[in-house]
């Protein structure tokens, strides 16, 4: 258990860390302080070798409504630097989840709106309840859903991202699945079980390889088209094949047993 303010609940069980937004009366919206707590908790989980998978969830009726309007309404009385620090704190929470070096899963129920979608898409996987609703509604409130834009573009592509941001409407889980915003949609009563099963499956992977995959995919995606991708990947393949985890994994396969990290 990580000591954090009660706006965020954290726990670790069987290698799975859970970060649960705990502002149900504010629809799990984020202000600067809550965003910083999220960042610190995620960084602590990243440094903990006992943690293999991160689950991001929300307490109460919804996953997250994004930025806290009651907080943002106070921005006109703040100077530009203070406003920017607040905005950076929100961006930092999403970035911390995105940069988490181990597999991550968003457990989505109720609604994910605005910046809540940013937190969801910062995870490697998103599992949603059939009754969940989604929306990049900021444009209808005169706001920019800035913390969601980078991960939204990565998830659905620039054209669909532009449409969602311009329209600002709310849509259902089936639509979110169709456009690639979530990966699984299940009945509400199956949500926790589905997330737990996925987490257990992810723990079967070698930790060092999973961390390498997350880094390598980002690096390759950022390269120019004429870059020597084969050379970059080949070097990593050659190095990984002689690692302790590779040797253990191959021996475990030949011995018809689970690898040590999967037990």
User: What does CATH list as the number for 8-202?
Assistant: 3.90.226.10
pTM over cut 0.85: yes
Model pLDDT for residues 45-101, shown as the tens digit of each residue: 999 999 999 999 999 999 999 999 899 899 899 999 999 999 999 999 999 999 999
Query: What is the mean predicted confidence (pLDDT) over 39-47?
Result: 97
Domains 8-202 and 207-262 share a fold: no
Boundaries of every domain in the chain:
8-202, 207-262
Query: What is the mean predicted confidence (pLDDT) over 248-255?
Result: 92
Relative orientation angle of helices 115-122 and 80-99, to the nearest 10 degrees: 30
Characterize 58-86 residue by residue with b for buried, 16 or more Cβ atoms within 10 angstroms of its Cβ, and e for exposed.
bebebbbbbbbbebbeeeeeeeeeeeeeb
What are phi and psi for residue 96, nearest 5 degrees? Answer: -60, -40
Query: What is the mean predicted confidence (pLDDT) over 115-134?
Result: 97
* CATH architecture, range 207-262: Orthogonal Bundle (1.10)
Helix, coil or strand: residue 57? strand
More confident residue, 242 or 228: 242
Integer-rounded Cα Rg, in Å, for the chain is 19
Which stretches of the chain are DSSP H helices? 32-47, 69-72, 80-99, 115-122, 149-156, 158-167, 173-178, 191-202, 207-222, 229-240, 244-254
Q: How far does Cα 126 stand from its chain's mean position? A: 8
Model pLDDT for residues 166-215, shown as the tens digit of each residue: 999 999 999 999 999 999 999 999 999 999 999 999 999 999 999 999 99
Model pLDDT for residues 157-169, shown as the tens digit of each residue: 999 999 999 999 9
- What distances in angstroms separate CA 155 from CA 118, 160, 174, one per listed residue? 10, 10, 16
């Amino acid at each position: 258990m990580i000591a954090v303010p009660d706006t965020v609940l954290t726990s670790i069980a069987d290698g799975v860390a859970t970060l649960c937004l705990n502002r149900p009366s504010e629809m799990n919206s984020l202000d600067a302080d809550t965003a910083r707590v999220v960042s610190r908790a995620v960084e602590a989980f990243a440094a903990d070798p006992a943690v293999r998978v991160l689950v991001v969830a929300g307490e109460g009726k919804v996953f997250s409504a994004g930025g806290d309007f009651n907080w943002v309404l106070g921005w006109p009385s703040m100077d530009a630097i203070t406003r920017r620090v607040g905005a950076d704190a929100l961006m930092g929470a999403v970035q911390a989840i995105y940069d988490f070096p181990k597999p991550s899963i968003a457990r989505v129920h109720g609604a994910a709106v605005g910046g809540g979608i940013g937190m969801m898409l910062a995870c490697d996987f998103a599992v949603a309840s059939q009754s969940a609703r989604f929306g990049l509604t900021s444009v209808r409130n005169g706001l920019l859903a800035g913390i969601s834009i980078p991960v939204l573009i990565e998830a659905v592509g620039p054209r669909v991202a532009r449409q969602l941001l311009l329209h600002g409407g709310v849509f259902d889980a089936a639509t979110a699945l169709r456009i690639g915003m979530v990966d699984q949609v299940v009945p509400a009563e199956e949500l926790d079980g589905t997330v737990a099963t996925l987490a257990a499956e992810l723990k079967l992977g070698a930790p060092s390889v999973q961390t390498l995959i997350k880094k390598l995919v980002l690096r390759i995606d950022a390269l120019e088209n004429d870059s020597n991708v084969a050379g970059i990947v080949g070097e990593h393949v050659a190095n990984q094949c002689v690692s302790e985890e590779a040797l253990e994994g191959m021996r475990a396969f030949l011995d018809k047993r689970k690898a040590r990290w999967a037990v």
